[in-house]
Amino acid sequence: MSFDEIRSLDSRYIFQTYTRQPIALESGSGVVLRDVDGNEYIDCVAGIASCNLGHCHPRVVEAIQKQAERLMHVTNLYYTEVQATLGEKITRLSGMDRVFFCNSGTEAVEAALKLARRTTGKKDFIAARGSFHGRTLGALSITDKDNTPFEPLIRNVSFVQYNESEEIERAIGEDTAAVVLEPVQGEGGVNVPAREYLREVREICDERDVLLILDEVQTAFGRTGEWFGHQHSGVTPDIMTLAKSIANGFPMGAMLATGRAADGFERGDHASTFGGNPLACAAAHATIDTIREEDLVAASRRKGRYFLESLRSLSLDFIDLRGIGLMIGMEFEGGCGGIVEDARKGGVLLNCTSERVLRFVPPLIITREEIDRVVRVLGG
């Protein structure tokens, strides 16, 4: 099918909620994507920080194929080995005590909010300006956006300045259940806080008996140069949310908890038909094993530094360049849609977040040569 035919079907039958780039993608391998017209692109979007091992990684493909031949879906009325062993793997990896599997980031956040209320018996949340936690009503309530058309949302959510721990101290009240933060704000513009920030927030939460929820949907699995973004600060959250790269692009989410929060739910408090589905679990096993065996967390740190330095040498009129691991943002005074378009025409996929921040979140397997090519294309 041609691009025009695909676009015309989309505009006729699909809800027009997305602003899409004018290409239709057909296949991918490693860091490279191909469109229906045969054009190739170096992918610095990676399904928005999801395909950390690149596209169609052979180990993930094989794990899904093998699992599909054995068992695809049974619901959580039954036990499966593939889910139980993934539970062990992911809790050991993260140092958390228990996990609830779901299907997306927003669902993981919903589970976290419910767990915080159930554990503490309190109702209120503190979130950060510039935050993004998802599109369902609970997650939207803690997302810093004009949500007026969807009100009423969860009441009593206080928004504080990101990277300012004293504001959290002041915002905590009698009925505060939890503080919810991203270790690095992704959609908000790749905002990297000071290393002490999460340490200070952790201390405040401990002193005031408030839970700390860290939303690692975008920052986990090596993206920032540690397995989880919060490890840069040496803190442990009470509750953590994961999705995106957990199964290298196969839809999956997870909510993990430790301490009293790990015992916060009773039977029947939460559920998901597809959560922890055998196919997703098999993909997640293969993803985690491959990241570990190929040492891609250290690679993210190394390549991220190289990418950042290479971008710094460009004579583009950006006002800020920041990043951690392979999560990099280049901020402009005005919109960066034109740069995204020019880059695409030059064979590089990028995206613009918060309207004026060019975001680079390529697969962690990107090579130096591919980074050089991206920088050359941006240099014009």
Ligand X SMILES: Cc1ncc(COP(=O)(O)O)c(C=O)c1O
Q: How far is the CB of 50 from ligand X (least distance, A)?
A: 9
Q: Are 241 and 183 in contact (CB under 8 A)?
A: no
Closer CB to ligand X, 30 or 251, in the complex: 251
Angle, to 10 degrees, between the axis of helix 368-379 and the axis of helix 296-312?
A: 30
In whole angstroms, how close is the CB of 245 to ligand X at the nearest point?
11
Q: Which of 54, 105, 249, 363 binds ligand X (CB under 6 A)?
A: 105
Which of residues 91, 94, 106, 272 is near ligand X by CB under 6 A?
106
Assess 215 for contact with ligand X (CB under 6 A): yes
Q: Is the dihedral of CA 158, 160, 165, 170 positive or negative?
A: negative
| Residue closer to ligand X, measured from CB, 35 or 238 | 238
Question: For residue 331, which of 306, 309, 305, 311 has the smallest C-alpha distance?
Answer: 311
- Binder of ligand X out of 82, 90, 102, 109 (CB under 6 A): 109
187 is an interface residue for ligand X by CB under 6 A? yes
Q: Which of 67, 120, 191, 218 binds ligand X (CB under 6 A)?
A: 218
Phi, psi of 191 (to 5 degrees): -95, 110
Q: Which stretch binds ligand X (CB under 6 A): 91-99, 154-162, 215-223, 308-316?
A: 215-223
* Window 127-156: residues binding ligand X (CB under 6 A): 132-134
Q: Compare residues 328 and 378 and give the one whose CB is closer to ligand X.
A: 328
- What is the CB neighbour count within 10 angstroms for residue 346? 16
Indicate which single residue of 83, 91, 104, 277 sits in contact with ligand X (rule: CB under 6 A): 104
Which residue from 142, 81, 107, 106 is spatially nearest to 270, judged by alpha carbons?
107
Give whichever of 138 and 378 is closer to ligand X, judged by the CB atom.
138
Number of residues binding to ligand X, judged by CB under 6 A? 15
Among 35, 124, 182, 200, binds ligand X (CB under 6 A): 182
- Helix extents (H) in the chain: 3-13, 46-49, 58-70, 81-94, 105-120, 137-141, 165-171, 195-208, 278-293, 296-312, 337-345, 368-379
Residue closer to ligand X (CB basis): 356 or 378:
356
CB 292 within 8 A of CB 264: no
Stretch that binds ligand X, among 76-84, 86-94, 115-123, 182-190 (CB under 6 A): 182-190
List the interface residues with ligand X, window 254-293 (CB under 6 A).
Answer: none
Pick from 287, 343, 213, 279: nearest CA to 67: 279
Report, in Å, the least distance between residue 132 CB and ligand X. Answer: 5
Query: Given the complex with ligand X, which of 103 and 165 has the nearer CB atom?
Result: 103
Q: Going residue by residue from 34 to 63, which x/- string records binding to ligand X, judged by CB under 6 A?
A: --------------x---------------
Neighbouring residues of 16: CB distance < 8 A, sequence distance ≥ 6 = none
Q: What are the residues whose beta carbons fall under 8 Å from the beta carbon of 58, sequence distance 6 or more? A: none
Query: 291, exposed or middle or buried, with CB in 10 Å at 0-12, 13-18, 19+?
Result: buried
Q: For residues 303 and 300, what is the distance between their CA atoms, to the nearest angstrom?
A: 5
Closest by alpha carbon to 54, among 268, 292, 249? 249
Residue 205 neighbours by CB under 8 Å, 6+ apart:
179, 211, 212, 238
Taking the complex as a whole, how short is the minimal distance between the CB of residue 99 and ligand X, in angstroms?
A: 16
Minimum distance of ligand X from residue 241's CB (angstroms): 7
Nearer to ligand X, 128 or 375 (CB): 128
Amino acid at 108: A
Q: Residue numbers of the site for ligand X (CB under 6 A)? A: 48, 104-106, 109, 132-134, 182, 186-187, 215, 217-218, 243
